[in-house]
Structure 1
């Protein structure tokens, strides 16, 4: 049996074009699993109950807030994509690669997984410790692909702050989960089905 030598491990920067579709999906699901695990551990260290945190509310009022925030974000995003040059909002092609050739049902699955995992960590754990403002700064920072341009970075920060606000206002994690899901699903479906001009 050969020994593994960590000194022979070499890291190199790759672009989105150098990653095949399978590796891109594995990367996405692995990062979401890690996000979910970190969120659960952090919540437990805060002496919160993750089952109570994810308990579904008795009324559907949270859906109005989630859908309302999602509608505002989608309209703003569409206006930005209409009037702002593509170079100022470029994410390196990651969203295009993720959604362009994906079946509609997989876009919905991806959107649900991402919304639950990220909201559990950011709203359920981090916001509980640091508040909506600092959580939004961290949320924008982990979306590294947007940091090259101030417009998408500002948009991600604003979306995160809105998600934090509706979480505080409704008292349920399902409001930001619903908003995050709708935003990702609609934008993913737009990328998937838009006609090239």
Structure 2
């Protein structure tokens, strides 16, 4: 088949292509494919005063591409080379899927770096999401109120039961709200002792340090300075009224009861990022508060000690946390 060569002087109108004769270099068209669709004079040459209009079927492009592709495959087979695959829509889709897998592989290969970055951000406290200030204060207020109410109910029920002759201790008389001056010395000594033990454990017990850090970040990171007083005193007062002011005398006013109540106190401190190491620490602290209650027979001593220890721990953590953010 001989193909007309032109100087790109084609124009298209209503689906027909028009070739201006002034742009034709050769006018040989001896093919049955073109001949029936030629409008004008059939001759071996075209004058410069006429134009040649050729209607090309819409399937001509796809037929031509298929013909070229088959010729390429035949030529490649003759040369002994594997034929090149055209980038069909199906191939493009597969290529995109492969690219997606490659991206996923790259993402998974960089997982270690992402974990390290997350751990670094957790340590610096810069990108970890925490509950809002209002949520923390509301949760603390509601929980402390419920614990306080439960402690008051147990004390009142035990008082009524004792008056009725039941074989239980009157918790309201065994552990009273009395306060004497020497109680102040016991409170200060207890605060110093517990704060020193906590500081030492944070240095020598990594699991306890991580557990304490996670719990403190979740509760304290969004608070204002004055909020620390609320967060420190509400749990200190309500928890001591329940555990040392109600359960301790109810189980028996002795050191075994103090240890049992301390273990319950420690077990309830699991969760919210706090591990078993923190529960062990809370058990020890609960026993210390219980022992102070046995000595003083006053609920004011464990209440004040607990609240002040919470406040001291919160202030020290806030100082170290803000210092770490400043230097990071």
| Shorter-chain TM band | 0.7 to 0.9
Cα offset for 1:56?
A: 4.0
Larger helix proportion of the pair: 1
TM-score (norm 2): 0.50
TM-score scaled to structure 1, two decimals? 0.80
Match of 1:78 in 2: 199
Where 1:144 maps in the other structure, the secondary structure is coil
> Distance in 2 between the 1:144 and 1:191 partners?
20
Q: Distance in 2 between matches of 1:146 and 1:23?
A: 15
- Give the drift of 1:24: 2.4
Deviates more, 1:46-55 or 1:172-181: 46-55
- Indicate whether 1:32 and 2:144 are aligned: yes
Distance, in Å, in 1 between the alignment partners of 2:274 and 2:236 is: 23
Matched, 1:120 2:241: yes
Q: Distance in 2 between matches of 1:92 and 1:72?
A: 21
CA distance in structure 1 between the aligned counterparts of 2:209 and 2:220, rounded to whole angstroms: 20
Name structure 1 gaps, 5 residues minimum. Answer: 1-15
* Higher Cα radius of gyration: 2
User: When the two structures are aligned, how many residues end up with a matched partner?
Assistant: 181
CA drift at 1:137 = 1.2
Measure, in 1, the Cα distance between the counterparts of 2:269 and 2:174.
Answer: 28
Q: Which has the higher contact order (CA 8 A, sep 6+)?
A: 1
Distance 1:88 1:190 in 2: 14
CA distance in 1, matches of 2:184, 2:211: 31
Distance 2:271 2:212 in 1: 5
8 Å Cα contact 1:88/1:149 also seen in 2: no
Shift of 1:18: 6.4
Do the aligned residues in 2 keep the contact of 1:163 with 1:176 (CA within 8 Å)?
Answer: yes
- Between the aligned partners of 1:113 and 1:56, the Cα distance in structure 2 is 20
- Gapped regions of structure 2 (runs ≥ 5): 1-127, 160-169, 252-256
Equivalent position of 1:172 in the other structure: 298
